[in-house]
Structure 1
Amino acid sequence: MITQDPVLQRLIDQVRSAHKPLDIQGGNTKHFYGEIPHGEVLDMRPLTGISSYEPSELVVTVRAGTRLAELEARLAEKGQCLPFEPPRFGPDGTVGGMVAAGLSGPSRASVGCVRDYVLGTTVLNGQGEVLSFGGQVIKNVAGYDVSRVMAGSLGVLGVICEVSLKVLPIATATATRVFAMDEAAALKQLNAWAGQPLPINASAWHHGQLHLRLAGAQAAVTAACAKLGGTVVEPEIATSWWDSVRDHQHAFFHLDSNHLAKGEHLWRLSVPATTPPLDLPGVQCIEWGGAQRWLRGQATVKQVRAAAVRAGGHATLFRGAAPRTEVFTPLSAPLQRIHKGLKTAFDPRGIFNPGRMYPGL
């Protein structure tokens, strides 16, 4: 894994000498996500570079400050990709931020999430110690799978310095079809398709239109297109459309000053895919075969959280007006103890991104 060099040593020195909270930052493209960050900036951007890449082994090891765009371009040269399509939110997003945020794109339901592709990490803890976990192979876990705990931790446990990721070949064939149907019909149809041997890679419903992306072997994609029908979307247009959903450039996700002034928020609800339409005020975009419901509108925290609980899921306040509070669903007492125990073990002084996930953490 990573070896000590002047850049890493500067990070170590800053952590060891810190007497106040540190705000871990890369490209700062996800500043909006989670509770409001504060503290002295710990800049990860200088810690860059692809440490090793073995295309034949489908493994890449990369430093945290490396831009995600740079990594994806390198993988594309070898016909490979990060299959979970991490949202980029801008050209400056970094690999460390990708792992720390733990967000996945349109294909998540079919290929898995960020955590599933993390093989190993090198982490700087709150005492300025460099720790390595996992490795560069799939079956390397003995005891606690610490590397994957870092995915989605928002930097509250430690500073991700380097990460080893599993990558996959780019699908040989893709196709996108569009179907006109209302929300209830779309959910019913998605659940029916889920029980069939179809190469469905991604789905997204919004404003009476269901987009379906197929990916895999050419024969499988061709056969599925013939079976499903729908309106053909040209490849270039389809790529642009899916990118707009992945990176939240689609008009649905825009929350400008006028929306914020009206008290609108963007919520992300994670519910069972079989959940019927949610009775909530606002407009929705539905992904992951029905398991991810985006809601934009003026619904209150109480309304949204109650609807999520009734469905057997949870809700996250993804974007909204400041001050941001109650971003993530409150933890039960047992889970609070586990989170605090992990925080104490990795960051006993409590200097890394305090409160970014939950107050007091």
Structure 2
Amino acid sequence: MSETPHEYPGQLIEQVRTAAAARTPLRITGGNTKAFCDEPTRGEALSTTGWAGIVSHEPSELVVTVRAGTPLAELETVLAGQGQCLPFEPPHFASGGTVGGMVAAGLAGPARASVGTVRDYVLGARFINGRGELLTFGGQVMKNVAGYDVSRALAGSRGQLGVITEVSLKVLPFAPAEATLVFELGQHDALEQLHRWGGQPLPINASCWVKDDTQASAPNLLFLRLRGAVAAVEAAGERMLREAGGTRMDNAQAGPDWALCRDQRLPFFNAPSADLCLWRLSVPQTAPVLNLPWAQLIEWHGAQRWLWAPASAAREIRAAASAVNGHATLFRAGADGAPDLARFDAPSPAIATITQRLRAEFDPSQIFGQPA
């Protein structure tokens, strides 16, 4: 656990107060491992990396409190030493990611559909608002609900409400057993099977359907990860293999493959062409096969769908997502950066109003999240 000078939060507060007084923007940074998937912002850099360290960890209470600049890998190592983990599997993308960036980005990995996302595990937080005030919301236990919604609002806020300095997170023990099953199924059949199994009490933890279009003879494969009690995993695995005719992977091979999926390092995530963009479609789990002419990788039991397509396809892709009550995000831009294309769909009027009110309350001088 790293030690940092006690006065460092004071330096952050002073930087925010100076910026607020001059009404000059600030650009919050951590490890800069997720900057590619957000709208570019401008202003003087405000780095949280100097404010690192694990404040407290109560393994028996399943709670850890961490400073925002703490490397994510460091936190996961400490938790693993106690047989615990962040069950939502935050993606790393590259080395150097921080806990504050994890919360601000609000991104989760393969298990998200089964265990929840980042905000479901945020118990409390401290952050510096646009006035330079250090605020505390929530607590270290679920029953302490004072300001709980504000703590959760920071998850996925992308630095638009303030500078996260510390978070308290709920953690969970590693599952006693794990198994990865593989089925050769086309996209339609894979989604149908996922919907069928999803309505049953099976310990399905993660799923990934993909077809490697770089090889003409490559099969359509559905990967399913089971986690839970030993007896439950074994019984479910045997039953599902009988029903759909799949095979079971060795955990020594499957584990690294799921980590590659989490960090977008599978072959699918290598851009087929420099001018293509990676699109993320968030749709209901029960959404059917989308009528789009690009290869897809599907996670979260059908709820998250990735595809490579040109920026010029934005209208078609967003219309397809909207038609099934979903939305599309430009996750990785092509070589030209797609400067004229919005990363995110326009929010609904209700969400836009709530967002504006939150930002006006916490950042009245509008120094955070200013577009570049």
- What range describes the TM-score normalised by the shorter chain of this pair? over 0.9
Q: TM-score, normalised by structure 2?
A: 0.91
Q: Deviations over 1:100-137 (max 9, x none)?
A: 00000000111011000000000100111000000000
Q: CA deviation at 1:323?
A: 3.9
Q: CA deviation at 1:144?
A: 6.3
Q: Whole-Å Cα distance in 2 between the matches of residues 231 and 184 of structure 1?
A: 20
Q: 1:276 is paired with a residue of what secondary structure?
A: coil
2:281 aligned to which of 269, 277, 280: 269
The match for 1:339 is: 355
Q: Whole-Å Cα distance in 2 between the matches of residues 141 and 300 of structure 1?
A: 44
Q: Deviations over 1:130-188 (max 9, x none)?
A: 00000000122246610000000000010000000000000011010110011000000
Q: Whole-Å Cα distance in 2 between the matches of residues 36 and 242 of structure 1?
A: 30
The one-letter code matched in structure 2 to 1:318 is F
Q: CA deviation at 1:227?
A: 0.6
| Residue 10 (str. 1) matches residue 11 (str. 2) | yes
| Residue 232 (str. 1) matches residue 233 (str. 2) | no
Q: CA deviation at 1:247?
A: 0.5
The match for 1:320 is: 333
1:154 aligned to which of 152, 158, 163: 158
The match for 2:173 is: 169
Aligned length: 350
The match for 2:324 is: 311
CA 1:144–1:67 in structure 2 vs 1: closer, same or farther (change >3 Å)? Answer: closer
The one-letter code matched in structure 2 to 1:316 is T
The match for 2:315 is: 302
| Residue 292 (str. 1) matches residue 304 (str. 2) | yes
Q: Which moved more, 1:209-218 or 1:264-273?
A: 264-273
Q: CA deviation at 1:4?
A: 9.4
1:125 aligned to which of 102, 108, 129: 129
Q: Deviations over 1:251-292 (max 9, x none)?
A: 21123xx7233xx11111111111111011211000111111
Q: Do the aligned partners of 1:99 and 1:151 also contact (CA within 8 Å) in 2?
A: yes
2:366 aligned to which of 323, 347, 350: 350
Q: Do the aligned partners of 2:138 and 2:147 also contact (CA within 8 Å) in 1?
A: no
Q: Whole-Å Cα distance in 1 between the matches of residues 250 and 86 of structure 2?
A: 23
- Identity among equivalent positions (%) equals 56
- Show structure 1 runs of 5+ residues with no match: 357-361
The one-letter code matched in structure 2 to 1:25 is T
Q: Spell out the pairing of 1:25-36 with structure 2 (5 A cutoff).
A: 25-36=29-40
Q: Do the aligned partners of 1:50 and 1:62 also contact (CA within 8 Å) in 2?
A: yes
Q: TM-score, normalised by structure 1?
A: 0.94
Q: Whole-Å Cα distance in 2 between the matches of residues 109 and 275 of structure 1?
A: 14
The one-letter code matched in structure 2 to 1:194 is G
Q: Whole-Å Cα distance in 2 between the matches of residues 245 and 48 of structure 1?
A: 28
Q: Do the aligned partners of 1:260 and 1:320 also contact (CA within 8 Å) in 2?
A: no
Q: Whole-Å Cα distance in 2 between the matches of residues 280 and 273 of structure 1?
A: 17
The one-letter code matched in structure 1 to 2:269 is F
- Show structure 2 runs of 5+ residues with no match: 212-219
2:149 aligned to which of 145, 148, 157: 145
Q: 1:300 is paired with a residue of what secondary structure?
A: helix
Q: Which moved more, 1:236-245 or 1:331-340?
A: 331-340
CA 1:199–1:68 in structure 2 vs 1: closer, same or farther (change >3 Å)? Answer: same
| Residue 184 (str. 1) matches residue 198 (str. 2) | no
1:223 aligned to which of 209, 214, 235: 235
Q: CA deviation at 1:54?
A: 0.1
Q: 2:37 is paired with a residue of what secondary structure?
A: coil
Q: Whole-Å Cα distance in 2 between the matches of residues 333 and 112 of structure 1?
A: 26
Q: CA deviation at 1:21?
A: 1.2
Q: Deviations over 1:60-104 (max 9, x none)?
A: 000000000000000000000000000011120000000000000
Q: Whole-Å Cα distance in 2 between the matches of residues 334 and 292 of structure 1?
A: 24
Q: 1:309 is paired with a residue of what secondary structure?
A: helix
| Residue 246 (str. 1) matches residue 251 (str. 2) | no
| Residue 106 (str. 1) matches residue 110 (str. 2) | yes
The one-letter code matched in structure 1 to 2:144 is N
Q: Which moved more, 1:104-113 or 1:36-45?
A: 36-45
Q: Which moved more, 1:168-177 or 1:264-273?
A: 264-273
The one-letter code matched in structure 1 to 2:273 is H
Q: Do the aligned partners of 1:105 and 1:246 also contact (CA within 8 Å) in 2?
A: yes
| Residue 43 (str. 1) matches residue 47 (str. 2) | yes
Q: Whole-Å Cα distance in 1 between the matches of residues 285 and 72 of structure 2?
A: 30
Q: 1:72 is paired with a residue of what secondary structure?
A: helix
Q: CA deviation at 1:5?
A: 2.5
Q: Deviations over 1:38-58 (max 9, x none)?
A: 211101100000000000000
Q: Do the aligned partners of 2:124 and 2:148 also contact (CA within 8 Å) in 1?
A: no
RMSD, aligned α-carbons: 1.5
